[in-house]
Structure 1
């Protein structure tokens, strides 16, 4: 460890003969005891203990200088301070002594402007007096500082200072020698580990395992907290990593020009950042997401033999300081050695990923697929092919297609040869085909397989689409009824489905608002086109939640959740579908506005009850539908949306069965047309955002208070609550309706005792 030349010190006192003999004995003890120790930590402890004893003080601290960081550091000190301390080598009394090379005494440190109170503040220790000397080798080289604190009796004097200087000088040679030895040993260990690592890396092809091993070694080699290797994906223009030391194996991707890693990748130049948050190029969002705190960064490019940058290596948080120039050079050398292995592993990974993708795509196809080589032997087959022909892989793979097809299907072999000759696919529809003695009616597609070099033949692919009578009938029936019902009928449950079933279900009715204007302006063709677009969007929302479309009634939709297949959360499915329909309609309206077209609104009614489902009609014309009071109430609620200026109204029976939480408010206790018993209804508001309905939850709470006052005929309180709602959201039409209703009831009190029930006179 290099240092600075010491400044001349003042003349030392000679002392008496006995004192000189005693001092000589002390210095011999320092030399003997320090020289007998094998590592620097033990010398550190021994020297601190001896100085504390000989100077009769509370504690001593030995600071050595770190030339790379210009810091004084200590690993061991007496007392309760056992962790590492680092201070700048020009800070405080210790820094002053190191810089000047002159010893000093301080009898009142807190009055000394050089004294650094930071350590005392961290440890709670009180410093009364200090003796501090530079640690100087026989060659006059400064390598650190020895500091003693709080002499137990009296104050430190010049004799103490002189003794401390001589003791540290005696130990300096041993300290410096051990430092050099440890540095050499660390270098040797690093080189051995590096050679072993390179041997392991060169034998690994799987990218994820290779990256994991590499980042583990880099983390240890540079004594850092975390390391990440980002490889460049040319197809997407991104940098990606699949493993990060200290974290889970997750793929991270980002554009190859962003952040510190992106800067290094695009420039091809290394970056050593000692303080990450002080650098504007650093993106702290990753720290916020992971909870990790980045202090220092070392990032170098990974360059292949063609001088192309194929990725970057990023190392974070050097333990005990910042990354040095030596760290940077070691990392560059390391990445240069592993670049070829990384590139080979990435190529292997790309090939494996493409292979897995192709196999996954093949297995997920609903049509059967066989591939044969140029000789006609079957190479691959997917699950659908095995299912169609009712066989296993062992019966097909490796067998010649000529032996697998029937005598009457030898024409297929001729067609395959023709396809290979013309290098053009051929589709043969609705044909009988026999394989392994099993006949099927299929659509047959024959395709040539050609390598990137077009003159190299790989074989052929045969694709089967099963169009047996059951499949064709199901496809035909699905055009005229719900696909779920058609599937149940084809599976043998037709009598149960069509004969009549009574079950609990959530019924939905919807209707378009403003449809009359559309029909008047658009004419017949425009109206039909409008309805087709509208119904396509709405039906998608229904089927997405597992609902069954019952029928279209003009511009209205009738749907059901819970029939023919019930779910545990059918009311929630109906609720989510309704909310999705409103939000989808708003998006569609915006698109229509952008094109200069008119917009529409809609109303939705939901009710959960027992309903009867079945095939109803005459022998010549029947229709699968739902009937019952529950159906009628859902229709009445949809109509009531107009009276309550609402988009979604649901009955209490639906609300009571909801498992999820939705933003809604009690709209009324009402007797609908055709009923005698009141029904509690709710307005659903969950499709709103802060823009479409400001202060929504505040309005809901005030509105519910207003409803409670309204139901007990407290008209003034109710009016005050509803008016407050209007102040928070002036567009809340339902609050205005209740203000008007309360004003009317206040001026025209009900003849009978008020029960809070409102009777509707129209549908």
Structure 2
């Protein structure tokens, strides 16, 4: 009696076939080797479709015999067509397509037949479609073990189903194999059963399970099991001791008498031998072909069990690997599914946002997080809906423990194997320390140099080079007198306020603060990259310094009014890291540096706020109103140079 669940599965496949090929009816016939017939086990539109077709008769019988597909688009005129079934079923066949169904070993086990294409005719493309469905039906038949014909197998069908169900649900081989083997012995009416795995390195077969041996492991390269493994062919031996390959040493060792053996190889997906399953001593009668079919089915289930266990082990190993990887990332990770349930959260995320390690938020909605953190994660919805990545930089966040962090956020879609979006992953990079370093460095050098130092591995720009740049020197007038009039605390406070506004002016105009020399400031424009506007930037900086100094002098909280002079010079210098191995200073040396210092000193003599050299003048004359002051021989120079003062910007 056919199992209803299996018939239901085959009928579902036939429905899909009829839809895919747009036909009126589809049927499946199972090959019965004993009777040399095709037995119908499922046929659409036919109640109780129990009828047989002799092999070689009709189109279906011809396909089973030839093992090749047949297309007949004018069935009634085909010499192969047998219209007797049309008469029985009160149906008229116009066109037929029929293909063989093979098992995993390439043996034909049945045929699929489709009748009457609704539109057009059957083509080779339809054969390709049918072949894909044939593989599905073959798997259903193989897994369900429909190859039994004896009444004994039918009576034990529930045992087979129990084994198949257990294979699907159990992944532990140590629990599963004894169950399958005991069932195999029961259903074949054998006294004992055993399972051997093949050691491919040594060529030995060893017992994974053997009833009667308890925990003892047998290793052998002899006997019936070795012959079956070597030949990749099942064996039925009902007089074991008379067989030339029988190894009696195990009987002598265990005291057990082997009379009959049924032995079946287990194959992997590459059709290589994994091992051998064996049952011993039929309790009544002898082992028959029906027992062989049953044991081959068990061998198939053992293979599936091994593959499932291996796949589960691989997935578990991969999952553990990914968990370890995620846990050891420096970035905070939080993933959510399409229902906004938290699926993954690593330790770094919890530490970053001051979440308790003991508070399990996995499988909870993201709204369990505080409102500020929840608002940051809002971008995941857009990412899951559109599939687009989202980036946020420099997110400021204060945790419940008043810890201030700055983070960059990347929100990325998570996809399954079919490319369907199943969630979003939020990656938080804590840049608090980097921001702090940038802020601190920016107190010493401009932002563009900070970026070079932090972001580039190659700092060759910082190596010594000859380049053209503009030097600015500023100095506080009468500073010595101020130090005599004010106390040390007042002087330090005054200088700090003064330097703060001056350095801001330098950085605003893309200059580098080279150094403080007492109350003097040296700034450089044009390093590490030379720019045509370096001289203009230096003069604009100087004018801005005077403006900001006026604002500072208006402050009632400063101890004294300040006045400065500025000297600016342009020319070729040597720039780069200068110093010892333990400490470098990025600076410039050369004649323009000395000239700028001399010009600053000369501002007192000519009573002007700014003096620039001739080279600087030629670079800025289109941008500023300037006046020639004099031609002077600067200290350390043999020839006179023209000097200019800047009145204002044009």
Q: What's the TM-score bracket when you normalise by the shorter of the two chains? A: 0.3 to 0.5
Q: Which has the higher strand share?
A: 2
Determine which structure has more spread, i.e. the larger CA radius of gyration. 2
TM-score of the superposed pair, with normalisation by structure 1: 0.32
